[in-house]
Amino acid sequence: MECYIKRSLKSKYTIIYAITVYMVNYIIKKSLKRIAPYLIRFSTMSTMNNINVNKENSTTFSDSDYNSAAYNTYRPTYSSRLFSKIYDYHVSHSSSFSTALDVATGTGYVAKELSKKFQQVYATDISQVMLSSVSRSPNIQYSISAAENLSQFQDSTFDLVTVGQAVHWFDREKFFNEAWRVLKPSGTLAIWGYSYHVVDGYPVATKKFMKLVLETFGDYWNPGNPEKLEINILYKGIVLPDELFRNIIWERYEFDEKGGKISNGESLLSEEWSVERLKSYMKTWSAYKNYMAKYQKENQKVEDPINKLFEELKEEEGWKDDQILKVSWLFVLALAEKK
């Protein structure tokens, strides 16, 4: 009798154990089905981060400790005039506003603007730090990718490819070939950038800002790679390959030293900022970060050159922190149609 009871209990526990194992496996499988898409997405993003990021062309903006929130807050925003020029050029040879690609999207401002005009927008950047601050939108898809390797996209995918304030960091031969490949026939390539800023009505202050940019921070914009400073001369050294593109237009807004203002009319990039806002913007510069980091690394005490300059200007020009200034930037826009 005792043996029978033991066998019965053993059978009972075996059944309970089997049922428990089955239920645990069932729950795990159901859970995996739910989270699998997220795991795949995370794996893909990690792989892209490891494979596609071109470290040679990476900048301070890619550093893990770069303040992307400050960048997003204090950088100037592109005007509707800029996008109108791009769209007007595009409709001169194409009527399609289906898909657009913004390369080196940063915190996604351009992608957000494009999403108002295009049905679907894709945006890439090499920096996970920058992409962490993007504004999400239903018709924008972000991914980590180097500009020179857009292999995630098929040939002839996009009506428009844009690059704002970044093409000077690229291996341009590779990028132009990739841009041509992913553009649809008669698609548009738009690249632009901005350089020094001018404070309207304050020629002395403007000269001091330029001295800070060229002399104090001159060697810190991209140490060891002076060719990356192409933006300082508004891309005059860049040639869009005419075997790939046609109807190429260059539009530049340069500094008129005699007049102390922007030439070619009002710049495509201007803002009305307080003195304090302008100072905060200048502290997002990669050269400023590189400059301060060098002395901190060497344990040297150094006076903040931006703080020092603004203290001088407050005394000389009578500026107050909340005083509004009109700030304009030297600017360049290039437009081209795929052959």
Contact indicator for 49, 62 with CB cutoff of 8 Å: no
- Strand-pair partners of 326: 272
Amino acid at 277: R
**Residue 198 pLDDT grade (very low, low, confident, very high; cuts 50, 70, 90):** very high
pLDDT at 226 over 90: no
Cα–Cα separations (whole angstroms), residue 34 to 21, 38, 39, 45, 141: 20, 8, 10, 19, 21
Residues of the chain with pLDDT > 90, as a percent, come to: 62
pLDDT (tens digit, 9 = 90+) per residue, 1-45?
444 444 444 454 455 545 554 554 554 444 433 433 333 233 333
- Separation in Å, CA 186 to CA 159, 175, 189, 240, 250: 8, 18, 10, 15, 18
Return d(Cα 111, Cα 183) in angstroms, integer. 17
CA distances from 304 to 256, 279, 284, 322 (A): 29, 12, 13, 21
The pLDDT assigned to 57 comes to 40
The conformation of residue 240, written as its DSSP 8-state character, comes to: -
How does strand 255-256 pair with strand 99-103?
unpaired
Q: What is the predicted pLDDT for the residue at 71?
A: 55
Burial 102-122 (b: 16+ CB within 10 A, else e): bbbbbbbbbbbbbbeebebbb
Domains and CATH numbers, the chain: 55-338 (3.40.50.150)
pLDDT at 70: 54
DSSP per-residue codes, 157-205: -EEEEEEES-GGGS-HHHHHHHHHHHEEEEEEEEEEEEEEEEETT-HHH
